[in-house]
Amino acid sequence: MVFAQEKTHAKSNEITAIPELLKKLDLKDKIITIDAVGAQRNICEQIISGKGNYVISLKGNQKSLYEDVQSFLRNEQNHKFSNENNDKGHGRIEQRTAFTTHDIENLQKIHNWPGLRSIGKVVSKILKKGKETEETRYYISSLPLDAQKLNDIARKHWGIENQLHWRLDVIFNEDKSCIRNDNSAENMNIMRKWAMTVLIKAKKNRRSL
C-alpha cells in the first residue's frame, strides 16, 4: 500500500526527495528500508529523530564505510548470526544466506554513523535455466538485527518490485502510457495505485459463500 509519494524534480534527485517524503510519514516504531541512495547521514538521523529504525543497503556511494563493512564481513569469524532461506518458483530456485553482527564498536569509532547498531550482508544465489548467478548485498541498521530478521526484511523490501512496480508496469501498462501533459502523469499514477490498493483489499476480504 502506498501511503505517500514525493515527486523528484528535474534539477534534483532522490537524495533530496527522500527527506521530504519522510516528513509526510509517521516513522515512530516503523522499520524504514531504502536502497543504497538512502545511505546518507542526514536521512538516518531523520529516521532516528522520528523514533523509527532503518535498514539501508550499502554501496559505493559511501565508499569508506562500504569498504570497511565489506572487509569486516569477509571474515567468517565476524559472522555472529547466520540464516539461510530458500525459494522456488517462476522457473527459478533462489537461496538467500544472511550474516549479521552487532560487534561494530571499532567501526563506529571510525565512522560514527547515526544510530548504527548492526551490519550485515545477504548472499543471493539464483539458479535459472541451468545458469547460476550470485549477488551480495550489504546493509547497515539501527536495529540489533539477527540474520533471520535481515533475511526477512530484505526479502520484503525487494518484494515491492513485484507487488508494486511490476503490477503498475504489466497490469496497468504504466510504462507504455502516453499521458504526459502537465500533472496528468502524476495524477494517473496516484489513481492507479489507489485502484490497486482497493483491488488488493477486496481480494483479501473476499469470502466464499
Show the domain range for 70: 14-170
Local structure of residue 129 (DSSP, 8 states):
T
Residue 186 within any structural domain of the chain = no
Q: Which of 87, 137, 145 is nearest to 119 (CA)?
A: 145
Residue 142 within any structural domain of the chain = yes
Residue 185 within any structural domain of the chain = no
For residue 163, which phi and psi values (nearest 5 degrees)? -80, -20
Residue 56 within any structural domain of the chain = yes
Number of domains in the chain: 1
Low-confidence stretches of the chain (pLDDT beneath 50): 208-209
Q: In whole angstroms, give the CA distance from residue 90 to residue 160.
A: 17
**What does the pLDDT read at residue 42?**
97
Q: How far is CA 32 from the centre of its chain?
A: 8
Q: In whole angstroms, give the CA distance from residue 54 to residue 56.
A: 6
Q: Residue 41: what residue type?
A: R
Residue 75 within any structural domain of the chain = yes
Residue 18 within any structural domain of the chain = yes
**What does the pLDDT read at residue 209?**
40
Q: What is the pTM of this model?
A: 0.82
Residue 8 within any structural domain of the chain = no
